[in-house]
Structure 1
Amino acid sequence: MAIHRVELVSTDYYLFLGATAYALRRYQAFALAPGRRPLYPQNEECTCRGCSFDDVRHARDVLDDVLRQLPARARGELGRRVALLDAAYLRRTLPDPFADERQYAAELWWRRRLSGGRMTAC
Structure 2
Amino acid sequence: MPRRRPGALRAEQRDRRTGEATPPDRIHGLSARTSGAIDRVERFSDDYHLHPGATDRALRRYRSFVGPPGRKPRYPRAARCSCRGCSFDDVRHARDVLADVLRRLPAGARGELRRHVARLDDAYRARTLPDPFAGRRQWRSDLWWRRRLADGPEGG
What TM-score bracket applies, with the shorter chain setting the length? over 0.9
Q: Structure 2-normalised TM-score? A: 0.74
1:43 and 1:117 in contact (8 A); partners too: no
Q: Gapped runs of 5+ residues in structure 1?
A: none
Distance, in Å, in 2 between the alignment partners of 1:49 and 1:104 is: 19
Q: Which runs of 4+ in 1 moved over 2 A?
A: none
Q: Give 1:56 deviation, angstroms.
A: 0.1
- Give the corresponding residue for 2:75: 40
1:105 and 1:111 in contact (8 A); partners too? yes
Q: Structure 2: 5+ residue runs without aligned partners? A: 1-35
Deviation at 1:34, TM superposition (A): 2.1
Identity fraction in percent: 66
Question: Which secondary structure state, in structure 1, belongs to the residue aligned with residue 76 of structure 2?
Answer: coil
2:120 counterpart (73, 76, 85): 85
RMSD: 1.0
Q: For residues 56-102 of structure 1, what are the alpha-carbon distances to aligned partners after superposition, in whole Å with 9 as ceiling and x for unaligned?
A: 00000000000000001100111111000000000000000110111
Structure 1 letter corresponding to 2:74 = L
Whose radius of gyration is greater, 1 or 2?
A: 2
Give 1:6's aligned residue: 41
- Structure 1 length-normalised TM: 0.94
Does 2:114 align with 1:73?
Answer: no
Q: How does 1:51-70 map to 2 (within 5 A)?
A: 51-70=86-105
| Residue 104 (str. 1) matches residue 136 (str. 2) | no
Q: Distance in 1 between matches of 2:52 and 2:152?
A: 29
Secondary structure of the residue that 1:77 maps to in structure 2?
A: helix
Aligned residues: 118
Q: Which has the higher contact order (CA 8 A, sep 6+)?
A: 1
